[in-house]
Chain A
């Protein structure tokens, strides 16, 4: 199986050599061809730098990067068959939408008529037929996003890089665009590498993802793996909103003397009698499809998800806690 993108021990350090800022620190990574790959992490975790290493706007201080098997250490951005949808879209303000979309073809010397036709085709693909004569400033945020997408796709890149492309859109538009991007990727078969700090977005869209923390990859896997079996406390905390249990609490919950995680939806509230675990309800939070109930157990706060329609215990009352022992995930690492 060939890889669209391959990082081997890649580092990108900034600043002085004796006290560098390690934006990316020894990352190994493979993105399978045709994948919808997400890089997830908080700001400053190195995910955007990784994206810029692929596009060529950053050069690795150590390690090597391959795109479809070819070492690109010596290849400037304009010769990489990789295109980017920038976070602020970076549309050319002085050009019409059509010229923006056709830009990549123009600089490659494609004939004017041909590229105008191709641009129209791309605008149709992102549902912006008839917008070709407008200037970017006359478009809404969502429309600009589509132009940026069309402008990148017109070059038929082997890899499409998306830098938080949905960050500036409002919730409803964001969800619609998520579906569209997913459908577009399935249709074109191009490898998508997608940077986001929104774990919901990463889980719902990607077929595999890498979680970044402090310039390193904390975990890499399918969304289901990462969600169900976080490798470290950081991943458990960041991906979803898991209960992270310290070793002594894990023991109280019937596990080994190690850090573990337990998803709120795996916890059921029961009557306080005849169960091994019980605690005091400290708060509720209504979430629409259910409620999150916080329960203090032996001084540790855990939350349980109660589906809508079930009765909620009063704050201050004592409840029992039950769960499938298989749901208690014991983690490998701490950090």
Chain B
């Protein structure tokens, strides 16, 4: 018996598992081309590309798309600033309360979204804050911080700790060290974190339903279509857009950080 080779059963189960993770997404693409708009009949009775044009001309899709892009962009920028600050602080020496702070950063992502959402909802209700784009961003930026932070911290573990000291030793002041050594070395990890944060924010639905009020982001629009379908293939076209808007940043993040395993287990 070769201990270095997996048994057939194990290989089949492993590859089967990977396929199980990927095949369902392809179905979305197929149904965007079906001629059947009232049901999910398989196989599709015919294929057409008309739904892309229909989707393009549907006025109710554009405002949610813009809102989602806007919210994701602002939340990502906020998360990158706040995440960079925390990771810079954590890169310094150990200090009292360090563990508690990393727990606090992790909490919004560790607890289910419904709790984050309901908590924000409770706070808005107590303080009489009306729902707005700002309330959506408040929620999104909160759970995006940890994504940026995780990427930055993982990069720091790999870097030689001495380079910040070396910079000061060679005469650089704190700001020069930040600009010439800290940022360039952390840059790609921060960018990767930003990409993932964008993907996460663009796609988020659970927290958003508690903080959006009457407004619709694209995922909320999709959710409404799922509960009460109208032109089903149009939903698929939008689903493809959402999928691409999350898939591409993830791929970019992977290539930015592939020398380490920084995105591994980052937690969503």
Count residues of A near B (Cβ-Cβ below 8 Å). 25
Q: How many A-B residue pairs have CB under 8 A?
A: 65
A152–B162 Cα distance when bound, in Å, is 14
Closest to A161 in B: B169
Select one of A57, A93, A103, A155 contacting B159, CB under 8 A. A93
Q: In angstroms, how far is the closest chain B Cβ from the Cβ of A42? A: 22
Complex: A83 Cα to B167 Cα, angstroms: 10
Compute how far the CA of A76 lies from the CA of B168 in the bound complex, rounded to whole angstroms: 9
Interface contact A94-B185, CB-CB below 8 Å: yes
Task: Check B91 for interface membership: any CB of A closer than 8 A.
Answer: no
Give the Cβ gap from A46 to chain B, nearest Cβ, in Å: 19
The reply to whether A84 and B169 form a contact with Cβ atoms under 8 Å apart is yes
Complex interface bits, A78-111 against B, C-beta within 8 A gives 1, otherwise 0: 1100111010101111100000000110111000
* B173 interface residue (CB < 8 Å to A): yes
Is there contact, CB below 8 Å, between A77 and B162? no
Query: Cβ of A103 and Cβ of B167 under 8 Å apart?
Result: yes
A residues less than 8 Å from B166 (CB atoms): 84, 86, 90-92
In the bound assembly, the distance between CA atoms of A93 and B43 in angstroms comes to 55
CB contact list, A108-155 vs B, under 8 A: 108, 151-152, 155
The 8 Å CB contact of A103, one of B160, B165, B170, is B170
A103 lies within 8 A of B180 (CB): yes
Contact for A55 among B169, B172, B181, B184, CB less than 8 A = B169
Report the minimal beta-carbon distance from A125 to chain B, rounded to whole angstroms. 17
Q: Which residues of B contact A108 (CB under 8 A)?
A: 171
Chain B nearest CB from A161 CB (Å) reads 9
Partner of B168, one of A77, A91, A94, A155: A77
Please measure, in the bound complex, the distance between the C-alpha atom of A79 and the C-alpha atom of B168, giving whole angstroms: 9
Do B163 and A78 touch (CB < 8 A)? no
Q: Mark B136-177, 1 if CB is under 8 A from A, else 0.
A: 000000000000000000000001101101111111110010
Q: What's the least CB distance linking A157 to chain B, in Å? A: 9
Q: Given A55-B169, A77-B168, A78-B171, do A90 and B163 touch, yes or no (CB 8 Å)?
A: yes
Residues in A whose Cβ lies below 8 Å from that of B181: 92
Chain A residues close to B by CB (< 8 Å): 55-57, 76-79, 82-84, 86, 88, 90-94, 103-104, 106-108, 151-152, 155
Could you jot down 25 A-B contacts, CB within 8 Å? A56-B168, A57-B165, A57-B168, A57-B169, A77-B165, A78-B168, A78-B169, A78-B170, A79-B171, A82-B169, A83-B169, A84-B169, A88-B160, A91-B160, A91-B166, A92-B167, A103-B167, A103-B170, A103-B172, A103-B180, A106-B180, A107-B167, A107-B176, A152-B169, A155-B171
Ranked 7 nearest A-B pairs via Cβ: A90-B162, A104-B170, A90-B166, A107-B172, A77-B168, A94-B184, A107-B176
